[in-house]
Amino acid sequence: MSNTDTLPSGAAASTGRSLDLGDLRTLLGFHLRMAHVAMYRDFTASLAELDLTQKQCATLELIDTNRGVSQVDLANTLGTDRATMMAMIDRLENRDLVERRRSQEDRRRQELYLTDKGDDVLKKAKAAIAAHEKRFTSRFSDAELKALVKALRRINEPA
C-alpha cells in the first residue's frame, strides 16, 4: 500500500500506525478537506505572531484594496453575515488596525480604512502569507499549479 492510500490515525499516530483510507481515497471532497486542513494549520502557524485569522487577513486586504469599503460589501464578498463582520471589524478596530469613518456622500454609511498600524501589520502578514504559499506552490510545476487553480475555480463556480 502506498503512502497516498494511508493516513496516520489520530489516537495511534504516536505509534506510527497508518490507517487504510478505504473508499475515502477516491473521494474528491475528502482530499480537498485534507488539503485545506494542511494549508490552514500552516497558515495559522505562519500568522501566529501577528495574531490574525485567515478572514481577518482577507478583510485587511480587501479594506486596503478597496479603501472606504462598507462592512456590508465586505460581508457579501467573504460570505459572512453582517453581525459576524461587524464583530470582526470591532476586534480589528480595538487593535487599532482599522478605522471607521462616516461617508461624506451618505451619512448613514460608514467607510473602512486601515490605520498606519493596520498597514504595517498587513505588510508583515503578506510576507508571512507569501512564505506560506511558497511552501505549498513549490510542490507543483507552473503548469500543474495553473491547472490546479483552474480546477478549483471550476468547483467554486455556480453549477
Answer yes or no: is pLDDT of 17 > 50. yes
Show me where the domains of the chain are located. 54-147
Above 80 in pLDDT, residue 10? no
Global confidence as pTM = 0.79
> Could you read off the pLDDT of 72-97 as tens digits, one per residue?
999 999 999 999 999 999 999 999 99
Q: Which residue has the cell 474528491?
A: 28
pLDDT number for residue 1: 43
Average pLDDT, stretch 116-142? 97
Q: Residue 56 pLDDT more than 60? A: yes
Poorest-pLDDT segment among 26-35, 39-48, 102-111: 102-111
What span, in angstroms and rounded, lies between the C-alpha atoms of 68 and 20? 52
**Top-tier CATH class for 54-147:** mainly alpha
